[in-house]
Chains A and B, each alone.
Chain A
Amino acid sequence: MGKYILKRVLQFIPVFFGVTLILFLLQNVVPGDPIKMIAGDKVLDPAVELQMRVSYDLVQVDENGDPILDENGDPVPVPLPERYVNYIVDLFHGDLGRSYQRKLPVTDIFADKFPYTARLAVCAIILEAIMGIGAGIISAIKRYSFWDILVTLVTSIMVSLPAFWLGMLLQLFFGVYLHVLPLSGAGGGVASAYPEWMYYILPAFTLASVSMAYSARIMRSQLLDVMNQDYIRTARAKGLSNRSVIVHHALKNALIPVVTYIGVDFGSMLSGAILTETVFNWPGIGYEIYRAITQRDWPIVMGGVTIIIVVVMVINLLVDISYGFLDPRIRFGAPKDKS
Chain B
Amino acid sequence: MADSKINQPVVGRRAFVGGTLAASSLAFLAACSNNNASNAGSSTGGDSAPAAGNTLNYYINNPVCIDPYNAQEDQGIQVVFQLFDTLTEYDFEKGEIVGLAAESFESNDDATQFTFHLKEATFHNGEAVTSQSFKRAWERIVNPSSAVASIYGPSEISYHLSVVKGYQELLDGSATELTGVTCPDDQTLVVDLNNPYADFAYVVSHPALSPVPEAADTDAENYYLAPIGNGPFKMDGKWEDGQEINVVRYDDYYGTTAKLDGVHFSIQRDQETAYREFQAGNLDVCDVPVAQIDAAKSDRGVSEDGYTMSDGQHMLLGSEPSTYYLTCNNTAEPFNNADFRRAISMAINREAICDSIFSGTRTPADGIVPPGIDGYQEGMWPYCKYDQAAAIELLDQLYPADGDGKRGITLQLSYNLDGGHQAIMESVISDLEAVGITCTSDTQEWAAILTEYQDLNYQFGRLGWIADYPIYDNFLYPLFHSDSLGGDNRSGYSNPEVDELINQARATVDTDQRIDLMHQADAIIGEDNPVIPLNFYTHQIAGSDRIAHLYIDPLKKADLSEAELA
Contacts and interface: CB of A to CB of B under 8 A. Distances in A.
A283 interface: yes
Contacts of B17: 39-42
A282 B72 CA distance: 26
Contact of B21 (A30, A48, A192, A294): A294
A112 B242 contact: yes
Nearest to B159: A45
Interface stretch (A76-84, A101-109, A305-313): A101-109
B422 to A, nearest CB: 15
Contacts of A278: 9
Nearest to A34: B447
A191 B283 contact: yes
Please classify the interface of chain B as helix (H, G, I), strand (E, B), loop, or mixed, using the class held by over half of its residues: loop
B51 A31 contact: no
Interface string B149-179: 1001111101100100000100111000000
Given A37-B447, A66-B173, A103-B65, A191 B51 contact: yes
A233 to B, nearest CB: 56
Contacts of A40: 1-2, 13-15, 17-20, 73
Contact of A55 (B9, B46, B154): B154
Interface string B263-281: 0101011101100110011
A109 B240 CA distance: 11
Given A34-B447, A36-B451, A281-B273, A291 B156 contact: no
Contacts of A52: 153-154, 156
Contact of B70 (A47, A103, A184, A294): A103
A278 B171 CA distance: 40
A22 interface: no
Contacts of A66: 173
Looking at B266, B272, B447, the one whose CB has the most chain A CB atoms below 10 A away is: B447
B162 to A, nearest CB: 7
A189 interface: yes
Interface in A185-205: 185, 189-193
The residue among A39, A182, A184 with the most chain B CB atoms within 10 A of its own CB is A39
Contacts of A48: 144, 154-156, 158-159, 171
Given A102-B64, A190-B48, A36 B156 contact: no
A103 B63 CA distance: 11
Nearest to A186: B269
Contacts of A184: 272-273, 276
B269 A283 contact: yes
A41 B5 CA distance: 13
Size category of the binding interface on chain A: 35 or more
What DSSP secondary structure best describes chain A's contact surface?
Answer: loop
A297 B482 CA distance: 31
A102 B14 CA distance: 11
Contacts of A41: 1-3, 17-19, 450, 463-465
A47 B156 CA distance: 11
Nearest to A111: B241
A42 B3 CA distance: 10
A281 B270 contact: yes
A301 interface: no
Nearest to A184: B273
Contacts of B448: 30-32
B523 interface: no
Chain B interface extent, by class: 35 or more
A33 B273 CA distance: 32
A291 B10 contact: yes
Interface string A121-138: 000000000000000000
Contacts of B9: 278, 281
B486 interface: yes
A57 to B, nearest CB: 11
Contacts of A291: 10-11, 21
Nearest to A52: B154
A258 interface: no
Nearest to A101: B64
B236 interface: no
A295 interface: yes
A217 interface: no
Interface string A265-284: 00000000000001001010
Interface in B492-510: none
A52 B19 CA distance: 19
B319 interface: no
Contacts of B268: 185, 189
A74 to B, nearest CB: 15
A51 B447 contact: no
A220 interface: no
Nearest to A291: B11
Interface string B260-300: 00001010111011001100111100000000000000000
A231 interface: no
A44 interface: yes
A9 to B, nearest CB: 34
B75 to A, nearest CB: 12
B445 interface: yes
A182 B70 CA distance: 35
A43 B152 contact: no
B280 A45 contact: no
Interface of B: 1-3, 9-11, 13-15, 17-21, 46-51, 57, 64-65, 70, 72-73, 144-145, 149, 152-156, 158-159, 162, 168, 171-173, 241-244, 264, 266, 268-270, 272-273, 276-277, 280-283, 418, 444-451, 454, 463-465, 486-488
Interface of A: 30-34, 36-45, 47-48, 51-52, 54-56, 65-66, 98, 101-104, 108-109, 112-113, 182-185, 189-193, 278, 281, 283, 291, 294-296
6 contacts: A37-B447, A41-B2, A43-B486, A190-B46, A191-B50, A191-B57
Q: Which 7 A-B pairs have the closest CB atoms?
A: A40-B18, A32-B447, A191-B282, A193-B280, A41-B2, A40-B17, A32-B448
